[in-house]
């Protein structure tokens, strides 16, 4: 796919499909129907049912945080992921998948400890990070893919 090839992004608000050139993702495109921002600047909740659209179909790399609300290290990573999502808007989509509510994808990727962060690019697994990391260390691990 070239940098100008259009991608289809589903609006997080109205679910309308929008064709957007990959080169425009940094510019913050909005939905043609409801004008909601199409590129998130904060982590997006993803479920087993939404995986194909939110992760496999994303035109940009996706970092999936496999977590659970009872997990202390997962709660420690939350502000780091919030900051990372804001800093990498248009280059990286940060998502969160609750493993208690969505066991299918956690099982598919053999997530046995949380937090586990997995980076996907066009549906292909590129990097796996287990455990909590400081933001600088996390950015260093992700840098080759962004």
Active site residues: 71, 74
Burial class of residue 124 in the structure, from the number of CB atoms within 10 Å of its CB (0-12 exposed, 13-18 middle, 19+ buried): exposed
How far apart, in Å, are the Cα atoms of 146 and each of 50, 63, 67, 118?
Answer: 23, 11, 23, 14
CB 116 within 8 A of CB 108: no
Which residues have C-beta within 8 Å of that of residue 59, sequence separation ≥ 6?
1, 7, 9, 20, 22, 25
DSSP letters, 73-118, are HHHHHHHHHHHHHHHTTTT-EEEEEETTT-HHHHHHTT--SSSEEE
Hey, which residues does 16 pair with through a beta bridge?
A: none
């Amino acid at each position: 796919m070239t940098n100008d090839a259009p991608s289809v992004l589903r609006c997080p608000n109205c679910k309308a499909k929008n064709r957007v050139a990959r080169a425009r993702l940094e510019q913050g495109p909005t939905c043609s129907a409801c004008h909601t921002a199409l590129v998130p600047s904060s982590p997006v909740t993803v479920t087993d049912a939404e995986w194909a659209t939110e992760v496999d179909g994303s035109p940009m790399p996706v970092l999936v945080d496999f977590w659970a609300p009872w997990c202390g290290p997962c709660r420690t990573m939350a502000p780091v992921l919030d900051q990372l999502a804001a800093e990498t808007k248009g280059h990286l989509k940060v998502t969160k998948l609750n493993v208690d509510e969505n066991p299918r994808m956690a099982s598919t990727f053999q997530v046995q400890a949380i937090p586990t962060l997995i980076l996907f690019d066009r549906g292909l697994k590129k990097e796996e990070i287990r455990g909590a990391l400081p933001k600088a260390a996390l950015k260093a691990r992700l840098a080759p893919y962004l």
